[in-house]
Amino acid sequence: MTDSATIVQKLWNYCNVLRDDGLSYQDYIEQLTFLLFLKMADEQTKPPFSRPAIIPRGLDWASLVRLDGDSLEVQYLHILAELGKYPGTLGVIFRKAQNKIQDPAKLRRLVSDLIDREQWMILDADVKGDAYEGLLAKNAEDVKTGAGQYFTPRPLIRAIVDVMRPTASMRVMDPACGTGGFLLAAYEEMKSGSLDPDEKRFLRDEALRGWEIVDATARLCAMNLLLHGISAPESPSLITVDDSLRSAPSEHFDMVLTNPPFGRKSSYKVVNALGETEREDMSYLREDFWATTSNKQLNFLQHVRSLLAINARAAIVVPDNVLFEGGAGEIIRRRLLEQCDVHTLLRLPTGIFYAGGVKANVLFFDRKPPSERPWTDKLWIYDFRTNQTFTLKTRALVRADLDDFVACYNPASRHERTETDRFRAFTYDELVARDKASLDIFWLRDESLEDTGSLPAPELIAAAIVEDLQAALDQFAAIASSLRTAEVATE
């Protein structure tokens, strides 16, 4: 049995070999996911586990590991196609699976040298889980795949979980779970206490739920949870592969932690009267929503509120436009302030997300029962953006950067807080009196506007300009598309 460092190094080394053949990190992780699942399912049928087989004979590891050459490739394709038809965790992991390794010799090496030689089921969950998380982080850095939008910075997740403090008896939900960062962090916090066997079973099989609309991302999430000891290969999947915004939730949760995907509009492709393919905005008509809008982020905010049980708590990452946009945005903010206790807002700096230049925030609120009086008393805002400069390469965010926020939040006694230079409270009356009930509030002086010596590096300024221009171009493109559609409709 090799040690954990050796296993991690082997994973990285073989990833680089396959990347030379044109595979992306995501392609590699997907193939690793398929093969690891087959091998772990095979190990479960042998001592010390001796469990019934969950994969049919002829589609299992034994049917694959003895082959090589073209016969190996043919059998691998057959396994992927057949297992994708099954329900539960099996179906989630193999749904629409494809073989991306075109060289049978390299596939043989991956099967026999990397996967078959290890006993993965008896390997500590932290070891195999950390190795897989490392690959996911590397995948998020691969700009060409766009995978960064599914990967929330882990230091930010840890800080959010540190202030939210989920416990082992809670049911925690992420309606846009990506590769599972929030669910894993919640699990680590929830299992930290002394748990009896029933509590451990509940935590493993029932406490966590996620939704993910992208098949490839859902399979990575499901495998990430499995490798960390959450759920079991033969169990119903904890991850639902679907659009979580499609309908009102059928069950409610004690806590929701989520970072919905970036991008403001929900849309679908259509062919217009001119034969051109274009995108049309898509709105969700739901009775539990306060406002109908095609703004995906505003819809997720409403959906998160609907997912919460009464007195349950949420933390959601939202872009700046959710804080100030008029129309439906104003309606939603006013309803949220009235019907929920919206108590904390963390303004995030740019440069911490893999999707470049994102201006985002974390909004914390509790759902409350109906009342004649507004539930929000004060909104405490922590400005972690002004005069803060982060980049993924030269100054990446670490958990210690958020220590002051966690201390100011005071999770042990949230109603006993003290204002600081970066942490201020605004009353409900002050908030609703603002134009459009905007929560886009800053008060610190931006030193870069007065001292040219403290300006960000030129490449950061250039990146910010490019992002602003791209956002403006996207908006103009959307307007032009809408005008063309309207013109065709009137002809």
Task: Let me know if residue 474 belongs to a domain.
Answer: no
Q: How far is Cα 112 from Cα 178, in angstroms, rounded to an integer?
A: 30
What ranges in 21-164 are assigned the alpha helix state H? 25-44, 62-65, 69-83, 88-94, 104-109, 125-141, 154-164
User: Alpha carbon of 134 to those of 29, 274, 289: distances in Å?
Assistant: 11, 47, 38
Average pLDDT over residues 309-331: 96
Cβ contacts of residue 263 below 8 Å, gap of 6+?
A: 296
- Position with higher pLDDT, 374 vs 235: 374
- Position with higher pLDDT, 12 vs 390: 390
Task: Let me know if residue 272 belongs to a domain.
Answer: yes
Do 241 and 221 touch, CB atoms closer than 8 A? no
190 and 249 in a single domain? The answer is yes
Chain CA centroid to CA 226, Å: 17
pTM given for the model: 0.84
- Give me the residue label for tokens 């202030």: 163
- Read off the pLDDT band of 318 (50, 70, 90): very high
Average pLDDT over residues 298-304: 97
Whether 89 has a pLDDT exceeding 60, the answer reads yes
Task: Let me know if residue 168 belongs to a domain.
Answer: yes
Task: Let me know if residue 63 belongs to a domain.
Answer: yes
Judging by beta carbons within 10 Å of its beta carbon (0-12, 13-18, 19+), is residue 314 exposed, middle or buried?
Answer: buried
96 and 173 in a single domain? The answer is no
Average pLDDT over residues 170-188: 95
Q: Nearest CA to 145 among 100, 104, 175, 93?
A: 100
Rounded-to-10 torsion of CA 202, 204, 208, 210: -140
206 and 107 in a single domain? The answer is no
182 and 289 in a single domain? The answer is yes
231 and 116 in a single domain? The answer is no
Domain that holds residue 105: 4-124
Compute the C-alpha angle 283/289/292, nearest 5°. 30
189 and 284 in a single domain? The answer is yes
247 and 99 in a single domain? The answer is no
286 and 421 in a single domain? The answer is yes
Do 221 and 239 touch, CB atoms closer than 8 A? yes
* Average pLDDT of the chain to the nearest whole number: 86
Give the tokens for residue 410: 């005071």
CATH (domain of 56): 1.20.1260.30
Question: Which helix (H) or strand (E) is 321 found in, with range?
Answer: helix 321-324
Q: How far is Cα 325 from Cα 264, in angstroms, rounded to an integer?
A: 11
Rounded-to-10 torsion of CA 144, 149, 152, 153: 40
In the chain, the number of structural domains is: 2
Do 265 and 137 touch, CB atoms closer than 8 A? no
* Percent of the chain topping pLDDT 70: 84
Backbone dihedral region of 69: left (phi > 0), alpha (psi from -120 to 50 degrees) or beta? left
Q: pLDDT tens, 21-79?
A: 778 878 888 998 899 899 989 998 999 888 889 899 999 999 999 999 999 999 999 99
- Read off the pLDDT band of 262 (50, 70, 90): confident
Give the tokens for residue 332: 């939603």
* Percent of the chain topping pLDDT 90: 58
Lowest mean pLDDT across 185-189, 234-238, 365-369, 481-485: 481-485
Whether 485 has a pLDDT exceeding 60, the answer reads no
Average pLDDT over residues 174-183: 94
Q: pLDDT tens, 117-161?
A: 888 888 877 777 877 877 787 777 765 555 555 578 889 999 999
61 and 170 in a single domain? The answer is no
Q: Nearest CA to 439 among 351, 308, 330?
A: 330
Q: Nearest CA to 465 among 364, 303, 356?
A: 356
